[in-house]
A = this chain, B = another copy of it.
Amino acid sequence: MATSAPSSSGGGPDPNSTNLRPPSSSYDWSGVAHGCTRKLGMKICGFLQKNNNLDEKSRIVTNEQPTSNERDPQFRRTETDFSNLFARDLLPAKNGEEPTMQFLLEVVDILTNYVRKTFDRTTKVLDFHHPHQLLEGMEGFNLELSDQPESLEQILVDCRDTLKYGVRTGHPRFFNQLSTGLDIIGLAGEWLTSTANTNMFTYEIAPVFVLMEQITLRKMRELVGWPVGEGDGIFSPGGAISNMYSVMVARYKHYPEIKTKGMAAAPRLVLFTSEHSHYSIKKASAALGFGTENLILLSTDERGRVIPADLEAKVIAVKQKGYVPMFVNATAGSTVYGAFDPINEIADICEKYDMWLHVDGAWGGGLLMSKKHRHKLNGIERANSVTWNPHKMMGVPLQCSAILVRERGLLQGCNSMCAGYLFQPDKQYDITYDTGDKAIQCGRHVDIFKFWLMWKAKGTEGFERHIDRCLELSEYLYNKIRTREGYQMVFEGESLRGLPDGDERRQRLHKVAPKIKSMMMESGTTMVGYQPQGNKVNFFRMVISNPAAMHSDIDFLIDEIERLGQDL
């Protein structure tokens, strides 16, 4: 596959020719663009250009063809010698346009080749090297920084090497993380985002992105089930920060005076979360000044789901000590087991004892897109706040995480500091669109565009199909494993390979997954994570969120683990 030209690529020079680049090859860069979207493209390109010209005041919305002097200049690939070119020769340098275009196109060539190979199953997932090996400089790949500039030729080599020694997280056999896959629309969205290079804090400099965020958040709240999508929210740099927001907002709702007077102004406040929940709740309890001892872990059943009676018992015990139970996190899709806590039962207890209910759906939130599977989150509409990471199960490129809050105004109240230099009250537009004062960040990266674009391109139904497919694949895996000799389901397992259960067997078993993982990384054929949990020995955690994964990749993984483990 890596060496055959796709049949759809048409005629032209023989791909097997050793003449890598016929001197006569030329490329009409802007012409292609017009040609490719020829129905809408021509009108819009012409319009764009006219309208961007300061001399041209009128708005052109008619169907007219662009005339000759409105055309973009044509870029053709030239035999650029990058060894004598440097960063200082690129835009905004005088005459920098041509080298800039050639350099960017060269980078794109490297990237599109990488994309293509990512989906090619004959390509390795990774080419593993230890830190000391990379630090010593693999075959001239020198990571050190110096006073002198490198030529653009060397920069291009650095780009290739960076990809070469990295990990192909979009490879069909990469199952190692909750974020996997390489969505092409999302990728295009990220490329555009970095080209626009702006900041979400004000409508002033991110008008389109701010509105996209608002529309998308409302849509997500509708899916959560809040009436007409009411409420508030913001995209944050990852689920841990989103979860931190939930604790901050809950605290502000219950004890707004903490903002000015500190934790000393409140009684001892207690938070609750599952023993299987993500560690970010613990990080938040430490960072925000509650202390990890005031985060109480809830017991779970054999599938890793919180036992509601345990929550109520612990709430009562806390109250008897004179402390205040304030916040409960229910996990929708736990990090290791993928367990869904019973939200409705937990919500009943939260209402009874006046506690904030947060649902951490960083991983499982995507199921809200699926009519078939969203029942796993029944009761989520009763939550006061929800974390939902489209960069996990929905395959949006990292980072893309939302914190949704049911009550409007709390995010603003909690975080607002009214910086005069950014959020001037006397602006000419409606400043309620400025988002910066809701955030704990000042500058905020544009995480919305790639997600918005993917939603446009797939529709809600496209996300639904992806989610349903992931769950179908995991059922396939489950059925394969449970009937296969040599594997043991974490939930149901009994004795393995005839060894009597006991400490010695457990100690030996505990070492199996790390050894297999180590060999797996050396061979680079696939990647899957392992960990112990509670009293269980190290086991593999299969994550299925990769849109590229097929049944055959699941089969491959099972066989590969067995192959690698056969001599242990």
Contacts and interface: CB of A to CB of B under 8 A. Distances in A.
15 contacts: A16-B71, A18-B68, A20-B35, A21-B31, A48-B164, A91-B548, A92-B547, A96-B119, A107-B191, A111-B191, A134-B207, A166-B209, A194-B194, A239-B442, A428-B518
A185 B282 contact: no
A461 B97 contact: no
A37 B106 contact: yes
A301 interface: no
Interface residues of A, number: 252
Interface stretch (A254-262, A311-319, A471-479, A480-488): A254-262
Given A9-B73, A87-B458, A179-B199, 9 more contacts: A3-B70, A6-B98, A9-B78, A40-B157, A92-B172, A190-B194, A278-B442, A279-B419, A283-B417
Copies of this chain, whole number: 2
Given A105-B112, A291-B264, A548-B92, A443 B514 contact: no
Given A417-B283, A440-B244, A16 B259 contact: no
A503 B172 CA distance: 69
B88 A462 contact: yes
A456 B75 contact: no
Q: Which of A91, A119, A157, A163 has the most CB of B within 10 A?
A: A91
Given A211-B135, A420-B533, A114 B195 contact: yes
Given A35-B21, A79-B35, A238 B444 contact: yes
Given A147-B459, A207-B167, A13 B37 contact: no
A146 to B, nearest CB: 6
A63 interface: no
Interface stretch (A302-310, A340-348, A403-411, A523-531): A523-531
Interface stretch (A148-156, A350-358, A377-385, A492-500): A148-156
A489 interface: no
Nearest to A525: B54
Interface in A370-411: 389, 391, 397-399, 401
B72 A113 contact: yes
B87 A197 contact: no
A114 to B, nearest CB: 6
A279 to B, nearest CB: 4
Given A9-B74, A21-B32, A289-B289, A134 B208 contact: yes
Contact of A54 (B78, B124, B165): B124
B239 A443 contact: yes
Contacts of A67: 18
A316 B248 CA distance: 32
Contact of A13 (B74, B207, B541): B74
Nearest to A184: B90
A568 interface: no
Q: Which 6 A-B pairs have the closest CB atoms?
A: A289-B289, A262-B291, A21-B35, A190-B194, A428-B518, A92-B548
A204 B77 CA distance: 38
A226 interface: no
